[in-house]
Structure 1
Amino acid sequence: MAMNSFDIGRELTAVTTGIDAFELTQPDSLLNDGLVPIYLGRGKVEQKTYTNREAMKADLDRLEADVAELASGPRQVFLQGMLKSLRVAVKMASGASPSFEEKVADLVGAPTGREDPAVIEDARGKLDGLLRKSGFVTGGLGERVAAWEEARAVPAEQVETVFRELMVEAKAKTDALIFDTGDYDMKLNPVRGMMYTARCSFDEGKMDLNFDLSFTRAALKHLVCHEVYPGHSTQLLSTKAAFEAGEAPADALLITTDAITGCVQEGIGDQGAHLIDFIEDSDDEIHVELRRVRSAAQTSAAWMLMVEGVPHEDVANYLRTTAMGQEAWVQGRLRMAAHPFRGPFISSYWAGNECVRKVRERVTKAQWPKFLEALYSHANSPASLSMFPQTVVEAH
């Protein structure tokens, strides 16, 4: 008897968490930091037990045959993409070296190649206009960005205070507009020497923040929205609630998997301030365009470094001049791009942001609840989400 979509979701979750558990025990595996960084389904879905990767591949083959029997639509598209993504992950864990292009396309589910330079220049043009409007008129664009960031920088000793203020505001908006997060909270955890700007350490209740960088209030707001409300933490809480209520299949618990789910997860984060209507002033508007420039440029930079063979320092200079990033950010992006497993996921930020943004901007008021259900109660890939108003949501 063919499995239905929910049955497949449970089996997919058992297989994925089984792969995760096995790879955590393999010191030489590229996945030895885990495939599912944050998983809220422990004790709810029994994971598969693996002693070798051939058994994983056999289970993925079997699931692929079951998925092929489903009706065509977003749910099938998501599951097919997820299985393809997991195949690449297992292949890499087995010692194979897929091309960067294959990893971006099949592991991450993002478009390949550099981002269109015209898109980057459009964002730079908008940024230029916004800075001039705010009184930053002296020097080239990079100089004016640096002047704005310096003028608006939150002193290090005040970052936690501003963080707490933004957390209160973002939580109130998220609870009212997206999902009631209850008594969930996150503390600020300053870190240094990391390749990321911020990170959601959900299980520890901490938002790691890279203090090698300076932050404007607008940047801190974006990071609170990205990592916590209504971003990663909120999505984790909402998918868990949907699964426990029987409204979503078990694979809703796999949203943090280093796979095609990552694009939409990062897209929710990067669109977070828009989703809760938290763009308040000219500084927020400046930061939106600056982030667009940097997100698109880092995607191109990774491609230049890993596919085109552009020298490391030339790529660094591209990020300094085109993306106008702080040096710690430039070096962190290059470190991430060069990582054999994490590298292709640098494209998930831009691809995810654009996917969620484009759907969000065409959702009607009447469709908004349906959009939020698909986005916050279920796992998606860029391909499945882009099919809206068709969604992955299925009756059970």
Structure 2
Amino acid sequence: MKIGQDLAEITAGIDRLYRTGLGGENFLQKEGLIPVAVAEVTPRPFRDWTEVQDSLAALRERIPAEAETTRRTGWLDEMSTSLASLSRLFAGEEQSFELRLKEQVRVDTTLIGDDILDTYRADLRDALDEMGFRNGDLAEDVARWEDSTAVPAEQVIPTLDTLEAEAQARSNGLIFDIGDDWIKCVGVRDVPFNAYCDYPGRQLLLNLGYRYTRFELKHLAAHEAFPGHLVHLARREALVADGRMPLDGAQVVTSTASSPLFEGIADNGMEMLGWIETPEDVAGLALMRLRSALRCNACWMTFAEGKSIDEAAAATAGPSFQEVDVMKHRLALVSHELRAPFLYAYWCGDDAVRRFLAATKDWDRKDVMAELYDHMHTPTTLLAAAA
């Protein structure tokens, strides 16, 4: 517990030092390194990045003796490595995109190949065939299907409210019962995201600049609320308050070792709720994963291959079955230095949690949920926990 408190205080200190160098008041700048903390953490006072590195090095020396479990040893090692790398970036170190993925997000993924993309296309093709969308090529059939299931603009928020209520009932029974805690759907525009869980304000901010299919709203109800970010943060808040989770569990820290599992749990929400019920859901899930993978590839093209965001969007929009302007907007996050590798957290996190759920299908369900929600994990430590 002591080393967890120290890690939390160091992380809060890094966030405060990082914020002092930021200019502007846009949405992503205001988030800083820690957009959400569900407990009070006193920032460690740092004058410069050398002090940060020294503090992290001292903490790392303590990990073998003070980590409470093997699980905690892996987590503390990966998270402190991640923070040290980010701190060097903030201090002005030139870093390759591959290094940032490996050290900060803690994933080895670079370009996602056609062997994986083709599995999503095959699942999508089969589901569309089952629904009767089999008269054109795949791109034409995807377009016709999405047109047919698009939710009218005036019905988007009411539909999301209804789906969130169903997700809440399932989540309280199958995941964790967090009572009547709720996030209100609020429409916004001109923001660099399609949806955002404002946990402190208990709002689900939905970008009304997009068109949404029913599957996309169903997925967002699970991802942002039940059993995704709302449930995950409420669970961590309760555990930290009760002294059952170390203080580092109170922080959401952007583009770090913690990011893939934060997003991966949310992206597997429908699976955990037993809510993949129809060919429409299967098609939507395959299309979501295809687009997530191709957004990773667009980031790689931009930061590893030197292409402009316009060029990367043009190269991946067609294979994503999206318009170029839509793809460009979905890449808006990567224009912010801290967020450059963050889109990998979605695909890599989804993949890690999916593999964990498959590997633990014979476990007691309560143990599976406890491992996912009650411990801080990276993709590596989560898969090790399933071994």
Fold match (TM-score > 0.5) = yes
Does the residue aligned with 2:186 lie in a helix, a strand or coil? strand
Does the residue aligned with 1:387 lie in a helix, a strand or coil? helix
- Verify: 1:21 aligned to 2:16, yes or no: yes
The answer to whether the 8 Å contact 1:23/1:32 transfers is no
Does the residue aligned with 2:255 lie in a helix, a strand or coil? coil
CA 1:54–1:116 in 2, change beyond 3 Å: closer, same or farther?
same
- Partner amino acid for 2:284? H
Name 2:82's counterpart in structure 1: 85
Deviates more, 1:27-36 or 1:278-287: 27-36
The TM-score normalised by the length of structure 2 is 0.93
Name 2:337's counterpart in structure 1: 340
- Partner amino acid for 2:291? R
Name 2:281's counterpart in structure 1: 284
Does the residue aligned with 1:69 lie in a helix, a strand or coil? helix
Does the residue aligned with 1:388 lie in a helix, a strand or coil? helix
Deviations 1:178-207, CA, capped at 9 Å, x for gaps: 111222111112222333221111112111
Does the residue aligned with 1:90 lie in a helix, a strand or coil? helix
Deviates more, 1:163-172 or 1:94-103: 94-103
Residues in 2 aligned to 1:21 and 1:97: alpha-carbon distance in whole angstroms: 22
Matches within 5 A, 1:13-52: 13-28=8-23, 33-42=31-40, 45-52=41-48
- Partner amino acid for 2:128? L
1:64 is aligned, of 57, 60, 67, to 60
CA 1:283–1:335 in 2, change beyond 3 Å: closer, same or farther?
same
Does the residue aligned with 1:199 lie in a helix, a strand or coil? strand
- Verify: 1:305 aligned to 2:302, yes or no: yes
Deviations 1:31-63, CA, capped at 9 Å, x for gaps: 764111010111xx4332223222221110110
Name 1:102's counterpart in structure 2: 99
Residues in 1 aligned to 2:306 and 2:254: alpha-carbon distance in whole angstroms: 29
Matches within 5 A, 1:181-260: 181-260=178-257
In structure 1, the gaps of 5 or more residues are 1-5, 391-396
Name 2:373's counterpart in structure 1: 376
1:116, distance to aligned residue in structure 2 (A): 2.0
Residues in 2 aligned to 1:198 and 1:90: alpha-carbon distance in whole angstroms: 28
In structure 2, the gaps of 5 or more residues are none
Name 1:120's counterpart in structure 2: 117
Residues in 1 aligned to 2:80 and 2:47: alpha-carbon distance in whole angstroms: 20
Does the residue aligned with 2:187 lie in a helix, a strand or coil? strand
Tell me how large the CA RMSD over aligned residues is. Answer: 2.0
The answer to whether the 8 Å contact 1:127/1:289 transfers is yes
The answer to whether the 8 Å contact 1:188/1:207 transfers is yes
1:21, distance to aligned residue in structure 2 (A): 2.3
For these two proteins, the number of residue pairs brought into alignment is 383
1:358, distance to aligned residue in structure 2 (A): 0.3
CA 1:161–1:328 in 2, change beyond 3 Å: closer, same or farther?
farther
Residues in 2 aligned to 1:326 and 1:181: alpha-carbon distance in whole angstroms: 39
Deviates more, 1:360-369 or 1:221-230: 360-369
Residues in 2 aligned to 1:248 and 1:354: alpha-carbon distance in whole angstroms: 25
Does the residue aligned with 2:182 lie in a helix, a strand or coil? coil
1:107, distance to aligned residue in structure 2 (A): 0.8
The answer to whether the 8 Å contact 1:254/1:379 transfers is no
2:291 is aligned, of 282, 294, 300, to 294
Does the residue aligned with 1:204 lie in a helix, a strand or coil? coil
- Partner amino acid for 2:213? T
